[in-house]
Amino acid sequence: MNLAPLRNRDFGLLWVAGLISFTGDWALSVALPIAVYQLTGSAAATSALVAVNVGTRLLFGALAGVYVDRWDRRRVMIWANLLLAAALLPALAVDSADAVWILFGVVFAHSVLTSVVRPAEHALLPRLVGEADLAAANALNGLNNNLARLIGPALGGMAAATYGLCGAVLVDAVSFLLAALLVALIRGRHRATPTPADEAPAGRLRGELAAGLAAIRRSPILRALFVALLITAIGEGVMSSLFAVFVSVALRGGSLQLGWLMSAQAVGGILGGLVATWLAGRWSPARMVAVGLVLFGLTDLVIFNYPRWSTAIAPEIVLFVLVGIPGGVLLAGAMTLLQTEVADALRGRVFAAAVTVESGAMLVGTVIAGTATGPLGVITVLTLQGLGYVVAGVIFGLSSARPRSVVVEAPAGLATQVAGGDHARE
């Protein structure tokens, strides 16, 4: 395993900051829907929270990428984490159904600010580690998300049980304050590195958005990656909508079994992150994505069709651990390609475009799940989701086998303005 990036002081600070803030977010993600349902008794209200979160990312994600590319990425992360902590505080006043509307405002603000933090972190990371360690660093970033996924829900559940929603809110707010402090300790100024095209006069917002999209269009490997992202994000929307239904209907389980499988997913993601750090120096990022997609899809096909023969939960737990391994590998490869296939001045916009595509596709997936499950059945719909990963892997593998594209720079007239200085989470 290549753990060398963690010996880099600045990357270590970024990694720990991400681990802490992700843990806080997972803690709140457990407590918030429970609190809304307890206060309102309405499943529609809890679903609306999810819609606000995804819809906000869809509307503001691409715009956030423009400003991340204009500003110092380190300072963006510091201020956004401080604002995230402040934005959570109104939730402390929610103690009745009449005040639940405040939580929708909190979720909206949280989603807007997170849309800024994630592309800033993604654009900052390549400035902190060498190119040889970049894929390993991305694998370690995926690892900390899954560590948080394992720790956060338990922490959130305990805080909510002891102190109610206020406890989970304070845990998440403190996590953002700690993350801001750690990022502030990273050395240097971290504004996007200028390219020759950046010497042109500042473009308008529309032009800067267009520059990011043009970078994707001109890179064959990015085009293939975005096609794969579109297919798999639809599948993730299906899966997130039908996970509880699958456990209940296909496995004849309940909340206990659901919790076991969610924990198994997190353990698998941790193993996947470790495997990805080992593969990072041996496989190209494109190969990591192609193989990861196919193996993830094939494992999903076994997971979702296993209940045709048995409803014993132990084999499913093992399968949920195993599927996390190719998941961690493909994530590390995809993040590395998003960073290396474009110039530094465009990284924020390209990553934000990926988040926007993912959010829109997941909404499509939720619609498909709601309309197709009745006539086709939950196992058939989830089988199609698994096939989608296999198809995406084959398409990406064939496309990435062509000669590798060069790094795409910002074209004159559409480039982000860089007004001096250097450059440097969900």
| Tens of each residue's pLDDT in the chain, 426 residues | 667 788 889 999 999 999 999 999 888 887 888 788 778 877 677 777 777 888 888 888 888 888 888 889 999 999 999 999 999 999 998 888 888 889 999 999 999 999 899 899 998 999 898 888 888 898 888 888 888 888 888 788 787 778 888 888 999 999 999 999 999 999 988 887 665 544 334 457 777 788 888 888 888 999 999 999 999 999 998 888 888 788 888 888 876 787 788 888 889 999 999 999 999 888 999 999 999 999 999 999 999 999 999 888 999 999 999 999 999 999 999 999 998 888 888 888 898 899 889 988 988 988 898 888 889 998 999 999 999 999 999 999 998 776 554 444 444 333 332 233 333 333
Residue 418 is predicted with a pLDDT of 28
Q: Which two three-digit tokens encode residue 196? A: 């020759």
Token pair 């020759």 in the structure block, residue? 196
Residue 306 is predicted with a pLDDT of 93
- Distance, CA of 44 to CA of 373 (rounded, Å): 19
Select 4-400's CATH number: 1.20.120.550, 3.40.50.970, 1.20.1250.20, 3.90.1150.10.
1.20.1250.20
Residue 195 is predicted with a pLDDT of 56
Closest to 154 (Cα-Cα) out of 305, 263, 241: 263
CB 238 within 8 A of CB 368: yes
- Distance, CA of 354 to CA of 61 (rounded, Å): 9
Contacts of 358 (CB under 8 A, 6+ apart): 229, 233, 236
Dihedral sign of CA atoms 204, 355, 389, 292 in order: positive
- Distance, CA of 233 to CA of 389 (rounded, Å): 10
Residue 426 is predicted with a pLDDT of 35
Residue 403 is predicted with a pLDDT of 55
**Residue 194 φ then ψ, to 5°:** -65, 145
Residue 158 is predicted with a pLDDT of 80
> DSSP assignment of 88-139, as one string?
HGGGGG--SGGGTHHHHHHHHHHHHHHHHHHHHHHHHHHHHS-GGGHHHHHH
Number of helical (H) and strand (E) elements in the chain, helices listed first: 13, 0
Token pair 């520059």 in the structure block, residue? 211
Residue ranges covered by each domain of the chain: 4-400
CB 76 within 8 A of CB 120: yes
Q: Which two three-digit tokens encode residue 397? A: 């593998």
The packing angle between helices 220-245 and 378-400, to 10°, is 170
Q: Which two three-digit tokens encode residue 69? A: 């590319």
Cα torsion through 142, 145, 149, 150, rounded to 10: 70
